[in-house]
Amino acid sequence: MEEELNSLWIEVEILTGTKYLKRKIPPDVSDHFSDETNQVIRNLKDLNQRINNRRDVRLLSRMQQELRNDGEMSPEMYLWWVNRY
């Protein structure tokens, strides 16, 4: 997934003519971009969302395990939970 993500970012950078340094949030679809560029951006957003969903599932599972074992969350899990929800 990471290789596919990197490949899509490179393709978006080539098609938009913009270098994205942080590569955290994909650009928005725009009328200024071609249909091909907008489709690649949509693909990038979809993949990015799938990766984030997998990460959230792992963190939620970890949080539930901590609650089951200790009855309370670690500070890291608590901050994730508060920021997420």
Helix, strand, coil shares, percent, the chain, to 5: 70, 0, 30
> What is the Cα–Cα distance from 77 to 58, expressed in whole angstroms?
11
Tell me the per-residue pLDDT of 9-33, one tens digit each, with 9 for 90 and over.
Answer: 999 999 999 998 888 888 999 999 9
Which residue would you say has higher pLDDT here, 56 or 16? 16
Burial of 51 (0-12, 13-18, 19+ CB in 10 A): middle
Residues 38 and 32: their CA atoms lie apart, in Å, by: 9
The domain containing residue 67 runs over which residues?
2-84
Is 9:43 a contact under the CB 8 Å cutoff?
A: no
What is the reported pTM? Answer: 0.67
Domain count of the chain?
Answer: 1
